[in-house]
Structures are given as structure tokens and as C-alpha cells.
Amino acid sequence: MTVLQVGQLMPSLAETLQRRYRAMVLPEGEAREAFLAEQGGAVRAAVTSGGHGVRADLMAELPRLGAIVNFGVGYDTTDVDTAARRGILVSNTPDVLTDCVADTAVGLMIDVMRGFSAADRFVRAGRWSEGRFPLTRQASGRRVGIVGLGRIGGAIAHRLEAFGCTISYHNRNQVPGSRYRYRPDLVEMAREVDVLVVAAAGGKGTAGLVGREVLTALGPQGYLVNIARGSVVDEDALVGLLRDGGLAGAGLDVFADEPHVPPALLGLDNVVLLPHMGSGSVETRAAMEELTLANLDSFLRSGTVLNPVY
């Protein structure tokens, strides 16, 4: 069966796809239309990532497509509604990146509250001799609200309990058996916590979920950490509040228009900016690659995937 690579993938995964499956790579620009006209009818499986996905217009050019195999846990760039209507399977790589992303969230929280990245710049600029670095805020013992208590949100909560933090969460539905406090009103939860950690899935259902009202409720002493998707947060409102003192700080691994970061954030010392590297460890990416290939093998062998997303 013909395999198509959609978008850039980790080099070792791309190499395996070409060597093991003789995968074709979807070209960009003017060559794309001619390629799809010639090869689109043969494609049975597409391998992609959260940074690219397979949208409805591309699916329309792949009449025999049976599976979209996603490298990563997020699949909001793939039109899953269209896939479901056409009977196209969609898989992702859950669990294997949970710990790494949760570590990133906790690291961002500690960094932005203690000012470690800003202090590093302070030392490198030779400013220590001019005086002491300003006092920062303690990260342990804080009231933390988590938006999205799925696998990653739960792992973040578990870690922060060890720091003596009090955990509450907002979710589409209350999580059965959870020992954390459920808050159905996100604005009220934001008003009650010191730190708001965004761990919700991306997509149309959560776009702008953390909006201006939520961020304003978090307030000038509050911190935001986002390791989910940039689309979940109203980025314009976030930038304005950070710039004008409406928030104490933010730790951000994701942005609305990656790889573009709002220029206003670049000069702020109360913001820690990461290049969407939450799962970016050698160990985690190797596990993600292995699970991606296992999902592809399962489809090519039996017509099923190991990790369906619906």
C-alpha cells in the first residue's frame, strides 16, 4: 500500500518511512497539484504530525486514503470530522510523551516564577556587578488550576503535589475518582488560583477557551503556563495583559502562529518562551517514532490502528 509523508517529520522517522515503506513525500508549492493528480489515487496511509496534519482539501485528493497516522498526541490540524465521515482512521501517540510534557510544564512554572531565565541573561550581560537580581516568587505551596485533566494534566498535578501545591481543575466533565477539586466555571477557578496551567487538547472545541475574561480573573499576581496549543489561549489578550501588568508572568511552549512569536513578548523578562519542545527529549521522541510506526504497521497489516483518536 502506498504511504504518503505529509509535512516535515523527525529525520529518523522520515528515513524509515522511505526505506521501509518507500513512502512518497507530499511536495509543497506548485508541484503539489501535479503530484496529487498523478499519485493521489494510490495513497492508502498518510503519516503526519501536529504541525501539519491532513485537512479536508487534501483528503479530497486522496480517494483511497484509509488512515492518517499522527506523530504526536495533538491532532487538531487534521480534520477528524471529515475523516470520520469518510471512514478514515486517525491515530496519535498518547502516553509516551506524557511525562516529558508534564516535566516541561513544571519547569516553565518554576522558571517564570523564580526568574531563572531572566537571571541567566542578567549574569551573561555582566549586570551582577551592578547590583543584585530582583527578588522573585516562590513556586512551591501555590494554588494551581489545571485546564484539562487528561493524561498530561494529571501528570502535572501529580508532580505539583510534591511541591505542596493545592490543585483544582477545569474539564469538559468532572473526572470520576479524581482527588482534585473540580471547578466547572473556568473564570471562577482562575480567580482562585496563583497559577493557571493549560493542558487542554487543541481544536475547534477549545479555541479561545482561556480568553480575556479568564486571564483578567487570574490577575496581576497570577501566572499562566501553556504546554497545550496556542489556539487555546487568546494570544492578543495575553500579550496585552503581560505588557501592561495585568499578569505577573507566563511560561509558554506553544503559540498561535508557530514558529512566529508575538514581538511584544521578546523583550519581557516575566515571560519564558520555548520553541514547542515539550516532548523534545531523545527518549520521548524515540518512543513516539516507535509508536507511530506501530500504528502504521497495524493499519497496513490488519486495517486497524493501535491508538485511534475517535
Which uninterrupted H or E stretch holds 44? strand 43-49
**CB of 231 within 8 A of CB of 180?**
no
Q: How far apart are CA 296 and CA 69, in angstroms?
A: 6
Candidates 52, 170, 229, 285; catalytic one: 229
Candidates 15, 28, 258, 283; catalytic one: 258
Among this protein's residues, is 229 annotated catalytic? yes
Q: How far apart are CA 222 and CA 47, in angstroms?
A: 40
Task: Report the SS3 class of residue 144.
Answer: strand
**CB of 264 within 8 A of CB of 238?**
no
Task: List, as one string, the DSSP characters of 83-103.
Answer: HHHHT-EEE---STTHHHHHH
Among this protein's residues, is 258 annotated catalytic? yes
Listed in sequence order, the residues at least 6 apart from 15 whose beta carbon sits closer than 8 Å to its beta carbon are none
Which uninterrupted H or E stretch holds 252? strand 249-252
Which residue numbers are catalytic? Answer: 229, 258, 276
